[in-house]
Amino acid sequence: MLGVMTIPTLELNDGNSIPQLGYGVFLVPADEAERAVSEALEAGYRHIDTAAIYGNEAGVGKAIAKSGIPRDELFITTKLWNDRHDGDEPDAAIDESLEKLGLDAVDLYLVHWPTPARDNYVHAWEKLIGIRERGLTRSIGVSNFLVPHLERIVAETGVTPAVNQIELHPAYQQREVTEWAAAHDVRIESWGPLGQGKYDLFGTPAVAEAATETGRTPAQVVLRWHLQKGFIVFPKSSRAERMRENIDVFGFELDATQMGRIDALDPLDGSGRVGSHPDELN
């Protein structure tokens, strides 16, 4: 087992810290979540990323309770779904998530998508500010926000998100968003960090050759690329051996040439996106 101390933490703009690598439970079925999260915690993960829409918060909560790990050693994230932005719905939503998770507070609460056609993400963000002030979450952030969405919530509330969790992998690096985040001290979290298997990332010469050169797997090479870019990453796997492989990425480094070759995998025209466009999912 790898110790939790092998995972570095990054400081957020609100003074809190976050483990740079965690375990994501997107598409983990509700009846498998307890087992999967328990195995992830046994492997050394201490950062768990879930969401109300995933339908597995209760399983995550059971795994946390059974683990015996002190609460202050865990970092738990969940998210506000798109149909809960209006009125007092965000307040009800966080209460429901906390009940399912069996927690008094989460470490990070995110607006899951901006849903611009509904034009209510500023209100949702205002409600998250209140949720943080009431102590139900330590940090607040957003997910899938593009620069116009980010600029608007900051302009209208004066509060900058601690993180923005976005689709990010070598073929889709979202440079405009990441550059804005760097300029405003917002941490980037990469979802789908391995491209969700929707293209042959591991077969590209840049990744395959770096794997050979470092004696690591292609997945480890790509996760290492994310970490060296300063991104927070949480690969998802239901298999214990893959969980252990994904966390074992701190004993080597990619050199500048290897990093540059992976950087160059982005066609820059947006064609590398494998998930939904934030302006279109409402």
Active-site annotation, residues: 54
DSSP 2-69: --GGGS-EEE-TTS-EEESB-EE-TT--HHHHHHHHHHHHHHT--EEE--GGGT-HHHHHHHHHHH--
The total number of residues written for the chain in this structure = 282
d(CA 273, CA 51): 21
d(CA 76, CA 205): 36
Between the alpha carbon of residue 196 and those of residues 8, 222, 232, 252, the distances in Å are 24, 12, 17, 24
Amino acid at 155: A
